[in-house]
Structures are given as C-alpha cells and as structure tokens.
Structure 1
Amino acid sequence: MIRFSEKEKRFLASIEEARLATASKSMPHVKPVSFVFMDGAFWVATDYTTRTFKNIKKNPKAAITVDVYRPGGHKAVLAQGKVDLVEEGAEFKKIYEVFFEKFEWVRRDPWKEKEAPFLKLIPVTKTSWGTS
C-alpha cells in the first residue's frame, strides 16, 4: 500500500476537485471530478452512462491529479493505480455518507445502491510536490 504523509492527507482533505484520467484501448479521457481521499484510496462518484465508467470497465487503470496552482507555490498530488467499482454493500454505504456530508450536489440529487457506482482508485504510484 502506498503511504501518504500527514501533510499530503491534509492537502487532499482541503480540496474538492481533481482531474481523473481513464483510457480505453486507444484514447485517453480526462475530466474534472469531485473526490474524497479516505483509507488510502481516492473515491469518485460516476454514472453508468459516462465515458469514464465505460473506460474503467475495459481498462481498470486510472490516474488522478489534485492540485492548486499559484505561481511559485504549486501544490499537487498525482496518483496512478487500479480502480475497483463499488456499487453496493457496507463500503458503498460508508463512502456515500461521506459524499453526502461533504457535497451539496449529492444532497440535492441523492442516489441508492446500484443507481450510480463509486470508483475506488487504489494507488500503486504517487508523486507529490509542495505537499510533503
């Protein structure tokens, strides 16, 4: 398991948006996402109809970048890893509660198990700058 420093964890907890990169066989796809970093993994909600979901079904590897750009003070964490789909069960309920608490858009448009999955990106590599 990749370890994150306390400073990196605080940085990740302070940011709500990241960019998630997935790929099918031939074409990468990057999009902004809301995320939560919890228990050493990055969690992202998606829908079954998205390009991201379709890519993950074909290729369960992805990368996520969380960053803040300030001239002379850029901070970022980049992680690459394997993605598990979490659609139901205790793990789904636990992360859903965190998303519900953190994000207004979840409270406005709630969903249930098997209506929309979470992507659980488990890092196998990590790079950070300005956060360690």
Structure 2
Amino acid sequence: MDAERQKKIEALLAKPTLARLATASPSGQPHVVPVWFLWEEGAAWISSYQSTRKVKDLRRNPKCALIVDLPKSEGGITAVLLEGEVELLAGSRPEVHACIERLYLKYLGPKGILKKEPQEWLNSPENLLIKLTPKKVASW
C-alpha cells in the first residue's frame, strides 16, 4: 500500500465515526453492531461489556470484521474494512483502563468523559477491551 493511501486510511480511522463490528454466532449467523473504536499501534481497540453477544461470539470465534465508513464522500477514501482476529483484554490493568479512557475521549471529549455514565462504564469490572489486529485491510 502506498504512503498516500495509508495516510488517508489513518485520517479516516482517526475520525469519531461509528464503526460496525461483525461477529458470528455458533451457528454462523452474522451479528453486526455499531461500536466506538480507537485506532492505535496498527490495531482497532473497542470497549465492551463481557456479557454482550459480541464478546460471547468472539470468545468462541475470534474472527471478525470492522467497517468504518463515511455517509457521503468527502473526497478520497470513504470506507475502511478491517478483517482479522481479536484478543480480549479484561481486568483492571492500568494500560487497559488508559486505552478505554482514550477511546471514550475520542467520542465524548474531555468534558463528556467526566459525566456520570461514562465514568460508570470506564470503571465497571464488566468492561473489557477488544483488540482487533487486522490481517486484511481494504479501502475504497
């Protein structure tokens, strides 16, 4: 992939745009949900509660896809598809908490993250990180 295209992909992934995460049930039924994500260090980081269907699906089958797209063309790249396997990172480790906090800041801003509900999410023992390291990246 050329440097200019990579730069455009990185710019799209930096926007506070909803992504859609696709997982599969044990029977192979697709499950697609909107998610917030953070793109850092060549991986997409997603915060979720351990009891959600997406996390249950990923525990059984770590393969998934994440699509990030813009509702209308702003010129250049309008969609990025990431496919790969995930790692689930739970626990109260400082680096997990810090990553979730950066993710929430991306979408809520410095004032929004201080509100009661985001603080409850951030500090919930149910919260974990889904780390998607893509094996395939497509863009258009």
Question: Are positions 1:94 and 2:98 aligned together?
Answer: yes
TM-score of the aligned structures, taking structure 2 as reference length:
0.79
Where do 5+ consecutive residues of structure 1 fail to align?
none
Q: Is 1:67 the counterpart of 2:69 in the alignment?
A: yes
When Rg is computed on C-alpha atoms for both structures, the one with the higher figure is 2
Describe the shift of the 1:94–1:71 C-alpha distance in structure 2 as closer, same or farther (beyond 3 A).
closer
Whole-angstrom distance in 2 between the partners of 1:15 and 1:80: 20
What RMSD in Å do the two structures reach over aligned CA positions?
A: 2.4
**Aligned partners of 1:68 and 1:76 also within 8 Å:** yes
Contact 1:87 1:113 in 2 (8 A): no
Task: Check if 1:115 corresponds to 2:109.
Answer: no
3-state SS of the aligned residue for 2:57? helix
Which residue of structure 1 lines up, in the alignment, with residue 56 of structure 2?
54
Partner residue, 1:8:
9
Question: Is the Cα–Cα contact under 8 Å of residues 16 and 106 in structure 2 kept in the other structure?
Answer: no
Long gaps (5+) in structure 2 = none
Identity over aligned residues, as a percent? 35
Cα distance change, pair 71–102 in 1 and its aligned pair in 2 (3 A)? closer
Summarize the Cα distance change of 1:107–1:56 in structure 2 as closer, same or farther, 3 Å threshold.
farther
Report the alpha carbon displacement of residue 63 of structure 1 after superposing the two structures with TM: 0.3
Report which of the two has the higher share of helix: 2
- Extract structure 1 runs of 4+ deviating beyond 3 A: 71-74, 105-108
Aligned residues: 127
TM-score, scaled to structure 1: 0.83
Match of 2:135 in 1: 124
